[in-house]
Amino acid sequence: MQLIPCPWCGPREEAEFHYGGQAHVAYPEDPSALSDEEWAQYVFFRENPSGPFAERWSHSAGCRRWFNAVRDTRTHDLIAVYRAGEPMPEVIS
Amino acid sequence: MSSPPGAHLPEHPDFLWENPEPKASYDVVVVGGGGHGLATAYYLAKVHGITNVAVLEKGWLAGGNMARNTTIIRSNYLWDESSGIYEHSLKLWEGLEEDLGYPILFDQRGVLNLAHSLQDVRDSVRRVNANRLNGIDAEWVDPAGVKEICPIVNISQDVRYPVLGATYQPRAGIAKHDYVAWGYARAAHAMGVDLIQNCEVTGLETSGGRITAVETSRGRIAAGKVALCAAGHSSVLAKMVGLRLPLASHPLQALVSELLEPVHPTVVMSNAVHVYVSQAHKGELVMGAGIDSYNGYGQRGSFHIIEQQMSAALELFPIFARAHLLRTWAGIVDVSPDASPIVGLTPVGGLYLNCGWGTGGFKATPGVGHCFAHTIANDKPHPFNEPFTLERFTTGALVDEHGAAAVAH
Amino acid sequence: MNFRKPTGGAIDRNTVLRFTFNGQLLTGHPGDTLASALLANGVHEVGSSVKLGRPRGIVAAGSEDPTSLVQIETPYSEPMLLATTVELFDGLEARGLAGQGRLSPEPDPARYDAKHEHCDVLVVGAGPAGLVAALTAARSGARVVLVDEQNQAGGALLGVDEYLDDRPSAEWVADIVAELKTTPGVLVLERTTAFGMYQDGFVLALQKRTDHLGFAAPASVARQRVWRIRTKQTVLATGAHERPVVFANNDRPGIMLASSARTFLHRYGVLPGSRAVVFTTNDSAYCAAIDLAESGVDIPLIVDARPEAPARLATECAARGIEVRAGHVVTGTEGSSRVTDVHVAPLGDGHPDTVVCDTLLVSGGWNPVVSLFSQARGKLRYDSSLGAFVPGEELASVRVAGSATGELDLNACARQGRDAGAAAVVAAGFTPGGQVPLPVSDSRCTQRTGLVLWRVPGDEDASFVDLQRDATVTDVLRATGAGLRSLEHIKRYTTIGTAHDQGKTSGMIAAGIVAEALGVELADQRPTTFRPPYTSVSFAALAGRDRGELHDPVRVTAIHRWHVAHGALFENVAQWKRPWYYPRDGEDLHAAVLRECRATRESVGMMDGSTLGKIDVQGRDAGKFLDMLYTNMMSTLKVGRIRYGVMCGVDGMVIDDGTVIRVGEERFLVTTTTGNAAKILDWMEEWLQTEWPHLDVHCTSVTEHWATIPLVGPKSRDVLAAVAPSLDVSNEAFEFMTWHDTRVAGVPARVCRISFSGELAYEINVTAWHGLAVWEALMEAGSPYGITPYGTETMHVLRAEKGYPIIGQETDATVTPQDLGMSWAVSKKKPDFIGKRSFSRAENLRTDRKQLVGLLPVDPNVLLPEGSQIVETDRLPEPPVRMLGHVTSSYPSAALGRTFALALVRSGHERVGETLYVPVEDALVPVTVTESVLYDKEGARRDG
């Protein structure tokens, strides 16, 4: 079980968190302007890298805030956490 | 007391496969030496006469999900598309031991899928009826019937989530995963397929929109066609040609107990409480856990998942209280948005995709191997994998099997 | 025959414990394990092997033992325990196993629990290195946890009679433990095995709290406890296991690891036999030989595989009449249930001598215990002088000390412990305190590096690599001969290392034999992966308290007591217990539901709707926000009014529905389905926080704050009027889809005029505190009308008669609002809402989608089973049969005087009037497709 440093509450057990997949995937400004292919990319397609991955977590059994993290999917080590709206730290090489 | 456990198990053959150096070029390179890759190579050689084939495996053959799954085989999926390919697979399983000339311990001991809520019951009956009309053996059994098939299931109505009944597929069962892989490997090797271990694919080479070669840790290998059978690593490989896949790779844990006298004659699965368990041939309880929520390539999950698993298992099987956990492990399952696979052509000529099997990969091994080989040989999908295109995510023609997959994704 | 020495060992000879083994009554003493007590009684044969049925004895003294598997039967049956780790208690009944245990069908009466512990430094192993590490850490003021699997600290020192600093080692151990136990912030856990090492310093340990007490175990104390330890730094002082050498017939009872025999001698005062041959590749076995000889065991011979015996030890042996034969090996043994003879020959080739004995002690060197280090993802390195894998890198938060590193000298091990403890506290942010002095040992065994010898050539069919799995050298060579190269393949082919011991003593040897067979360097081989748990853990211990009622929380409403008292049967809906129906004497489900339906449609009924999810949505942008979430328009809703709404996922599939009431300009109260309440709150917060943080909206779950009571039926107005005298309940003053705040039964209430049945109906909401009182007041006020409480089943029938779908029953994540015939609830005006874009995908535009319709069986008495499939023809073709859809809901209807069903049917909306067929068992039931609304299509009953 990982120890996840919530940027609001500090380190807490993984069981308190909810996973939200890839971060920084914005809802399209005008979905009606997208082709079916482009829309499908938004709805279903996410990055799935082996290595550092910017992803979303919610401290669902704590402060209930969503935040972002960069985590290495090979080791599961959290490299950085940052609040929603903050830019991704320069950790992905 | 009958013969000691394990005494009845078959002996392995004295020869399995050679370990050749890769050749400079093959007609077909299969990336991934797991069950699907080996089966694909086997059917390419056997059915289509394509034997100038290499199977590239970055570790040891069948050391990924093939070595880590709980070996459940069944075909009682809800939708026509799924029941088509899984039933095709089950029929191949039924003749596989003879086909491969190798003991695979395929044991049709039946699978119970338990229902714990009134909606579970409706969904289960719906699936049973669909299965029967699709020619798949399936029945709905009430709690007393569950007890008759598997006497150790707690059917008391006085528990948190009582068993309200189950679907039962008598032809379902288990097999010995390693033996299946080795059987395919041995047979493929015997027909001329090169099985190359410790050979990691590091790049895919294309020219004019067609695949031409693979770059590997053991050098460049030219290829007429390349077939990806890399399960959890599919996204990484596809990305080498700029292809995005709608997949997330997650840890999926499983565990095994010590050897125990037979108590569990069938396979029991419960979606609602995330349990699937069988007792393997030597007597160990083999159990699958829930999927870890996060993406992960680390082949390890979090322990609280195992603890939850145990709590759910003991609700259903109080007799397991003092069984002991001997070993836990994790595989990497590539999960698609509709819990159905992606098998077919890609925008790159000569590059074929087989992924997204989530928790369903093992049971599909012969079926998908057979259909994928057909797809590769004919550059055209087999009717059974035709629905499982990448395009379905654009059109919306999904095959949503969340209800039938063993684990709620 | 008695093999107990008259003195010595940490046992209480004044107390006699009686136990039975395989039905034979035997005795032992407190401090014994089952294994030491058996050996004291001369019993070596414990069980038999799994495949070949050969006798199996006791090889090691601890948890690494590959063979001594027993089933204990008292006080409760438990399979597959090692005799070497079962502490003896009075009344113990045990029997040996043939590699397979038995699960008891009796319910396990024991309790289990789990505890979280946070510390700065965790030390695993209370041997010399671990003790010094823990004390060093403790003196810095850090929070320290020391766990050890034995019932007392000391580790390897428990098995020797050596002196440290010129006093018995037990005193040195006791002093350190005493200081640890009196230092604030230090927790010492005995009988506690760290079995799993995970991410971020998360270590799982199992504490056996009462097993050793047997029948005296208090029922109120959890038998076993899982410690979930979160530590900043870990020192692994997990020690080393002696490994054997493989030779022909190396599996007979009486063949034991040399250091284990020494442990049985010193810790338990037990002699392994009368006449023991020793076979070694290193110095340590000499100590065992000398100690045993001094305790009266006849040691005719030490067989040392090294070309030269260690001079000083050889001299000591000579002084005791022990012959040492260097450059020799054991090539085989004789005996059946016990070794009787040993064959000894020069290493290489030569004529064997036979030596008579009843015990053969073996030492093939030492394997550092690296399981936890490997679980922590530490890389291992092959040490060719040890013939073992050792920690091959330093980890930021995990240090290894003592013989777990491969170091075998006690003083050096203690120094590593001190260094590791000091480094750990510094890394955890502390300053090391007073330095712990390092002990000096008087051991005569200087631990000169031994010879790495995996096996002695001989009968390969009888040379056992894994004694528990009956896997022999032949099996290994067959595997390599079959073309297998990877250790993982060979393990799977031979099953070596897959038994209860997970290869603790066999794994390294197997790797060595494979490397020899293949002619490769072990340094180039990847060892097989160590996985949790280090030793086996019962399922029940891991389940802990989360069983029975605590398996998952039960949620009940404020009115639940009343439902129970009035005989309701309950349905699990998510975590809630909801009244399903209220049977009267002799009624089955159908009879009760027909009665409840009839009473409601003809007079008045009511139900407990408190489980509906309720979310208070507030803020300047609340309307705008809800416009994005619902398919229909919410921002135009006027204060005081109510609107039904549907929510879709981004894929355009219906995920939930419910009513939205506008409480104020900037405040809405949203209801969700019972099962989806938490998911919808999550959904809202996710969109708000991750996509639209600029919106001023706040969402709060108020599900449990309100008791919600739908009061339904033509007489509901009269009942409400009776309990809400200040409310004008007339149709003009209180319109459909509006709400009013008032007082009901004297308490503040919000009454909504909504209907999920088509009848005149009111939904009365009061704070949960008043729920029961208001419910009872309504029952009383309704009694002149025969008011009837009804459950979820009647609610389902009433809504189905009106064609209202239940999300999750009529839908399955593949159904759009249009499929449900709810295009009216999909806004054409809004530029966007979640799911809208998906409605124009190719698949959504097909006209042959499955759509919600009604089905009327041609025979009005036939009830279609829910979940039935629907086909087009009155005869079934061969499978696969084309299916048009399925029955989602099906009921007998009091109002319709017949059965009816709802179904999703391909092109259903176009098929109204068609006859289709439903296979039910062996028959095909003809049904007529209708619109989904079957009752009161004009809506005449809505206003009473």
Question: Which residues of chain B neighbour A49 with C-beta distances below 8 Å?
Answer: 235-236, 239
> Which residue of C202, C682, C837 is in closest CB contact with A31?
C837
Q: What is the pLDDT of residue B1?
A: 39
Confidence of residue B299 (pLDDT cuts 50, 70, 90): confident
Confidence of residue B9 (pLDDT cuts 50, 70, 90): low
| B163 close to B155: Cβ distance less than 8 angstroms | yes
CA atoms within 13 A on the CB side of B392: 21
CA atoms of C282 and C445, how far apart (whole Å):
10
Q: What is the pLDDT of residue A1?
A: 77
Q: Please report where in the chains the tokens 């992803």 appear, as a residue.
A: A55
Quick check: is C823 in a domain? no
> Which residue of C80, C198, C547 is in closest CB contact with B311?
C547
Taking CA atoms, C410 is separated from B149, B391, C138, C384, C710, in Å, by 59, 67, 21, 21, 77
Question: Which residues of chain B neighbour A18 with C-beta distances below 8 Å?
Answer: 293
The alpha carbon of residue A40 is apart from the nearest alpha carbon of chain C, in Å, by 9
Averaged pLDDT for residues C38-64: 96
Report whether pLDDT(C851) > 90. Answer: yes
Taking CA atoms, C9 is separated from B74, C193, C270, C874, in Å, by 58, 23, 8, 86
Burial of B117 (C-beta count, 10 Å sphere; 0-12/13-18/19+):
middle
**Which structural domains are found in chain A, ordered by start?**
1-27+47-93 (3.30.2270.10)
Confidence of residue C848 (pLDDT cuts 50, 70, 90): very high
CA atoms of B230 and B55, how far apart (whole Å):
11
The alpha carbon of residue A93 is apart from the nearest alpha carbon of chain B, in Å, by 16
Question: Which residues of chain C neighbour B257 with C-beta distances below 8 Å?
Answer: 539
Where is the domain boundary, C363, C394, C421? Answer: C363
CATH assignment of the domain containing C921 = 2.40.30.110
The domain in which residue C878 lies consists of 846-930
Query: Are residues C349 and C428 both part of a single domain?
Result: no
- Sign for the CA dihedral angle at C550, C554, C558, C563 comes to negative
Confidence of residue B407 (pLDDT cuts 50, 70, 90): very low
C471 contacts: CB under 8 Å, gap ≥ 6: C464, C465, C494, C495, C496, C506, C510
The answer for B 209-268 residues in CB contact with A (under 8 A) is 233, 235-236, 239, 244-249
Report whether pLDDT(C534) > 80. Answer: yes
Averaged pLDDT for residues B103-109: 96
Taking CA atoms, C886 is separated from C36, C415, C652, C864, in Å, by 67, 74, 21, 10
Averaged pLDDT for residues C803-825: 96
The answer for C 220-239 residues in CB contact with A (under 8 A) is 228, 230
Confidence of residue C927 (pLDDT cuts 50, 70, 90): very high
Given an 8 Å threshold on Cβ–Cβ distance, is B310 in contact with C554? no
Report whether pLDDT(C250) > 80. Answer: yes
Report whether pLDDT(C575) > 60. Answer: yes
Mutate to test the interface with B, among C539, C886, C905 (most CBs of B within 10 A): C539
Does the interface predicted TM-score (ipTM) exceed 0.90?
yes
CA atoms of B111 and C821, how far apart (whole Å):
38
Where is the domain boundary, C671, C701, C731? Answer: C701
Q: What is the pLDDT of residue B13?
A: 75
Q: What percent of chain B has pLDDT over 70?
A: 96
Taking CA atoms, B229 is separated from B29, B43, B56, C466, in Å, by 10, 14, 10, 35
Residue in chain A nearest B244 by alpha carbon? A45
Query: Are residues C596 and C739 both part of a single domain?
Result: yes
Q: What is the pLDDT of residue C436?
A: 95
3-state secondary structure of C88: coil
The answer for C 458-517 residues in CB contact with B (under 8 A) is 470, 478-479, 481-486, 488-489, 492-493, 495, 498-500, 502
Report whether pLDDT(C530) > 50. Answer: yes
Number of domains in chain C: 6
What does the mean pLDDT of chain B come to?
94
Given an 8 Å threshold on Cβ–Cβ distance, is B249 in contact with A73? yes
Q: What is the pLDDT of residue C348?
A: 84
CA atoms of C919 and C874, how far apart (whole Å):
9
pTM: 0.96
Q: What is the pLDDT of residue B409?
A: 28
Given an 8 Å threshold on Cβ–Cβ distance, is A44 in contact with B246? yes
Count Cβ neighbours within 10 Å for each residue of C75-91 and write b for 16 or more, e otherwise: bbbbbbbbbbbbbbbbe
Nearest Cα residue to B196 out of B172, B214, B178, B176: B214
Beta-bridge partners for C202? C198, C230
Mutate to test the interface with A, among B239, B245, B297, B400 (most CBs of A within 10 A): B297
Mutate to test the interface with B, among A48, A56, A68, A70 (most CBs of B within 10 A): A48
Residue in chain A nearest C682 by alpha carbon? A60
Mutate to test the interface with A, among B294, B302, B303, B309 (most CBs of A within 10 A): B294
CA atoms of B258 and B281, how far apart (whole Å):
12
Residues of A near C (Cβ–Cβ under 8 Å) read 1-3, 13, 18, 20, 26-28, 30-32, 34, 36, 39-40, 42-44, 56, 58, 60, 64-66, 75-77, 84-85
Interface check B396 vs C, CB under 8 A = yes
Given an 8 Å threshold on Cβ–Cβ distance, is B260 in contact with C80? yes
Report whether pLDDT(B404) > 80. Answer: no
Where is the domain boundary, C449, C472, C497? Answer: C449
Quick check: is C825 in a domain? no
Burial of C833 (C-beta count, 10 Å sphere; 0-12/13-18/19+):
buried
Report whether pLDDT(C1) > 90. Answer: no
CATH assignment of the domain containing C634 = 3.30.70.1400
Averaged pLDDT for residues C781-809: 97
What residue spans of C758-863 are helical by DSSP H?
A: 771-782, 792-801, 842-845
B197 contacts: CB under 8 Å, gap ≥ 6: B19, B33, B57, B59, B60, B61, C485, C486
Residue numbers of chain A with a pLDDT score lower than 50: none
Q: What is the pLDDT of residue B3?
A: 54
In angstroms and rounded to an integer, the radius of gyration of the C-alpha atoms of chain B is 21
Q: What is the pLDDT of residue B10?
A: 67
Q: What percent of chain B has pLDDT over 90?
A: 91
Burial of C598 (C-beta count, 10 Å sphere; 0-12/13-18/19+):
middle
Quick check: is C821 in a domain? no
Averaged pLDDT for residues B243-262: 96
Q: How far is CA B94 from the centre of its chain?
A: 16
Nearest Cα residue to C365 out of C162, C508, C523, C535: C508
Query: Are residues C478 and C588 both part of a single domain?
Result: no
Query: Are residues C193 and C329 both part of a single domain?
Result: no
| C763 close to C749: Cβ distance less than 8 angstroms | no
Q: What is the pLDDT of residue B405?
A: 47
Question: Which residues of chain C neighbour B118 with C-beta distances below 8 Å?
Answer: 571
> Which residue of B247, B297, B304 is in closest CB contact with A50?
B297
Given an 8 Å threshold on Cβ–Cβ distance, is C691 in contact with A26? yes
The alpha carbon of residue C180 is apart from the nearest alpha carbon of chain B, in Å, by 30
Tokens of C312: 């000083």
> Which residue of A32, A64, A85 is in closest CB contact with C685?
A64
Q: Please report where in the chains the tokens 């005989």 appear, as a residue.
A: C567
Tokens of C494: 């031979």
Query: Are residues C100 and C180 both part of a single domain?
Result: no
Residue in chain C nearest A32 by alpha carbon? C837
Burial of C641 (C-beta count, 10 Å sphere; 0-12/13-18/19+):
middle
Count Cβ neighbours within 10 Å for each residue of C740-754 and write b for 16 or more, e otherwise: bebebbeeebbbbbb
Confidence of residue C489 (pLDDT cuts 50, 70, 90): very high
Q: What is the pLDDT of residue C527?
A: 82
CA atoms of C260 and C279, how far apart (whole Å):
14
Q: How far is CA B153 from the centre of its chain?
A: 25
Report whether pLDDT(B408) > 80. Answer: no
Question: Which residues of chain B neighbour A25 with C-beta distances below 8 Å?
Answer: none
Quick check: is C484 in a domain? yes
Quick check: is C819 in a domain? no
> Which residue of A2, A36, A42 is in closest CB contact with C841?
A36
Nearest Cα residue to B46 out of B217, B183, B234, B224: B183
Given an 8 Å threshold on Cβ–Cβ distance, is B393 in contact with A18? no
Q: What percent of chain C has pLDDT over 90?
A: 97
C31: left (phi over 0), alpha (psi -120 to 50) or beta: left
| B194 close to B23: Cβ distance less than 8 angstroms | yes
Interface check B307 vs A, CB under 8 A = no
CATH assignment of the domain containing C508 = 1.10.10.1100
Query: Are residues C229 and C135 both part of a single domain?
Result: yes
Interface check C685 vs A, CB under 8 A = yes
Confidence of residue B402 (pLDDT cuts 50, 70, 90): confident
State which H helix or E strand residue B28 sits in: strand B25-31
Tokens of C65: 């033992």
Averaged pLDDT for residues C744-771: 98
Q: What is the pLDDT of residue C444?
A: 77
Interface check B124 vs C, CB under 8 A = yes
Report whether pLDDT(C798) > 50. Answer: yes
What residue spans of B32-79 are helical by DSSP H?
A: 35-48, 65-68
Nearest Cα residue to C452 out of C330, C363, C344: C363
CA atoms of C256 and C250, how far apart (whole Å):
10
> Which residue of B246, B295, B393 is in closest CB contact with A53?
B295
The alpha carbon of residue B211 is apart from the nearest alpha carbon of chain C, in Å, by 30
Mutate to test the interface with A, among C199, C204, C679, C699 (most CBs of A within 10 A): C199
| C445 close to C286: Cβ distance less than 8 angstroms | yes
Confidence of residue B2 (pLDDT cuts 50, 70, 90): very low
Quick check: is C590 in a domain? yes
- Number of helices (H), then strands (E), in chain C: 20, 50
Query: Are residues C38 and C76 both part of a single domain?
Result: yes
DSSP C8-27: -SS--TTS-EEEEETTEEEE
Averaged pLDDT for residues C238-245: 97
Interface check B249 vs C, CB under 8 A = no
| C613 close to C701: Cβ distance less than 8 angstroms | yes
CATH assignment of the domain containing C147 = 3.50.50.60
Q: How far is CA A31 from the centre of its chain?
A: 22
CA atoms of C453 and C331, how far apart (whole Å):
13
Q: What is the pLDDT of residue B8?
A: 59
Chain C neighbours, 3+ Cβ pairs < 8 A:
A, B
CA atoms of C525 and C503, how far apart (whole Å):
17
Question: Which residues of chain B neighbour A47 with C-beta distances below 8 Å?
Answer: 235, 244
Nearest Cα residue to B27 out of B61, B62, B54: B54
Least confident of B155-159, B222-226, C221-225, C695-699: B155-159
Nearest Cα residue to C766 out of C686, C710, C699, C841: C710
Nearest Cα residue to B107 out of B283, B266, B284, B275: B266
CA atoms within 13 A on the CB side of C90: 7
Q: How many CB pairs under 8 A join B and C?
A: 262
Query: Are residues C662 and C724 both part of a single domain?
Result: no
Query: Are residues C22 and C154 both part of a single domain?
Result: no
Given an 8 Å threshold on Cβ–Cβ distance, is A45 in contact with B303? no
Burial of C861 (C-beta count, 10 Å sphere; 0-12/13-18/19+):
exposed
Interface check A33 vs B, CB under 8 A = no
Question: Which residues of chain C neighbour B61 with C-beta distances below 8 Å?
Answer: 489
Given an 8 Å threshold on Cβ–Cβ distance, is B337 in contact with A44? yes
Cis preceding-peptide flag for B162 (omega within 30 of 0): no
Query: Are residues C596 and C712 both part of a single domain?
Result: yes
Report whether pLDDT(C833) > 70. Answer: yes
**β-pair type (C923-930, C915-920):** antiparallel
Averaged pLDDT for residues C288-317: 96
Residue in chain B nearest A17 by alpha carbon? B293
Interface check C118 vs A, CB under 8 A = no
Query: Are residues C266 and C216 both part of a single domain?
Result: no
Quick check: is C798 in a domain? no
Averaged pLDDT for residues C162-179: 95
Q: What share of chain B is helix, strand, coil (3-state, %, to 5)?
A: 30, 25, 45
Confidence of residue C448 (pLDDT cuts 50, 70, 90): low
State which H helix or E strand residue C57 sits in: none
Quick check: is C939 in a domain? no
Q: What is the pLDDT of residue C346?
A: 96
Query: Are residues C197 and C343 both part of a single domain?
Result: no
The alpha carbon of residue A63 is apart from the nearest alpha carbon of chain C, in Å, by 12
The neighbour count for residue C836, using CB atoms within 10 Å, is 19
Write a three-state SS string for C745-781.
CCEEEEEECCCCCCCCEEEEEEEHHHHHHHHHHHHHH
pLDDT tens across C183-218, in order? Answer: 999 999 999 999 999 999 999 999 999 999 999 999
